[in-house]
Amino acid sequence: MTLRYAALAAYIALVAALGAAAARRVKGLPDYVAASRRLGLWSYVLLMVGSVLSGMTCIGVAGLSYLTGYANVWERVLGPPLAIALVTALLLPKLLREARARGLLTIQDYLAYRYGDERLVRALSGAASVLVCSTYLVGQYVAVGVVS
């Protein structure tokens, strides 16, 4: 048990040190929000993998596939990576051009520019984020409870 606590403390210390080092390089909003646009393709790929791999995919899909067979493999395991790859291939070039030309940092910035109503876009974005995050987090908490 002591080794676990030592490993956890070492992990927290490493994350804090990395955060402190990175914080020194942050000079403004573009540095904070978009990492100064220096992440590159592989960082993007790893971020998307981290977004897809969660309690749902690691625990829920395994249990659901066990109960229902291979029918859910497409929807839960193959679907998200293929959707991310397709959207990236089709939309990323245009979004990058617009972002660089107009100094846009987020999808909300692009949508506000595209539709010309920043207040409405930000309100809808916030409402959608609250709905999706709260629904998603319920599943994550259940997954943590199952694992625990």
pLDDT digits (tens, 9 = 90+) for 5-60: 999 999 999 999 998 988 888 888 777 777 767 777 788 788 877 777 766 666 66
Same structural domain, 67 and 5: no
CA distance 78 to 108: 28
Same structural domain, 33 and 50: no
Please say whether the beta carbons of 34 and 47 come within 8 A.
no
CA distance 124 to 61: 30
Same structural domain, 63 and 119: yes
> Strand, helix or coil at 117?
coil
- The pLDDT value given to residue 120: 92
Per-residue confidence band for 131, with pLDDT thresholds at 50, 70 and 90: very high
Q: What residues have CB less than 8 Å from 125, skipping those under 6 apart?
A: 107, 108, 111
- The pLDDT value given to residue 62: 72
- Judged by phi (left if over 0) then psi (alpha if -120 to 50, else beta), residue 35 lies in left
Same structural domain, 78 and 130: yes
Q: How far apart are the first and last CA of the chain?
A: 15
41, 134, 136 from 78: Cα distances, Å: 21, 24, 19
Report the mean per-residue pLDDT for the chain: 82
- The pLDDT value given to residue 9: 95
Lowest mean pLDDT among 25-34, 68-77, 113-122: 68-77
- The pLDDT value given to residue 8: 93
Same structural domain, 68 and 126: yes
Enter the pTM of the model: 0.61
Please say if the pLDDT value at position 140 is more than 80. no
| Amino acid at the residue 19 | G
Residue 23 token pair: 């914080």
How many folded domains does the chain comprise?
A: 2
Same structural domain, 45 and 33: no
- The pLDDT value given to residue 55: 64
Please say if the pLDDT value at position 83 is more than 90. no
CA distance 73 to 66: 10
